[in-house]
Chain A
Amino acid sequence: GAVVSQHPSWVICKSGTSVKIECRSLDFQATTMFWYRQFPKQSLMLMATSNEGSKATYEQGVEKDKFLINHASLTLSTLTVTSAHPEDSSFYICSTKKIAADPDTQYFGPGTRLTVL
Chain B
Amino acid sequence: DQQVKQNSPSLSVQEGRISILNCDYTNSMFDYFLWYKKYPAEGPTFLISISSIKDKNEDGRFTVFLNKSAKHLSLHIVPSQPGDSAVYFCAASNGGTSYGKLTFGQGTILTVHP
Contacts and interface: CB of A to CB of B under 8 A. Distances in A.
B46 A105 contact: yes
Interface in A28-45: 32, 34, 42-45
A41 B93 CA distance: 22
B106 to A, nearest CB: 5
A65 interface: no
B102 A111 contact: no
Chain B's interface: helix, strand, loop or mixed, by majority?
loop
Contacts of A93: 43-44
* Size band of the interface chain B makes with A: 20 to 34
**Looking at A44, A103, A110, which has the most chain B CB atoms within 10 Å of its CB?**
A44
A6 B51 CA distance: 29
21 contacts: A1-B46, A6-B43, A34-B100, A34-B101, A43-B89, A43-B107, A44-B44, A45-B104, A46-B101, A46-B102, A46-B103, A93-B43, A103-B51, A103-B95, A104-B32, A104-B34, A104-B93, A104-B95, A104-B98, A106-B46, A108-B45
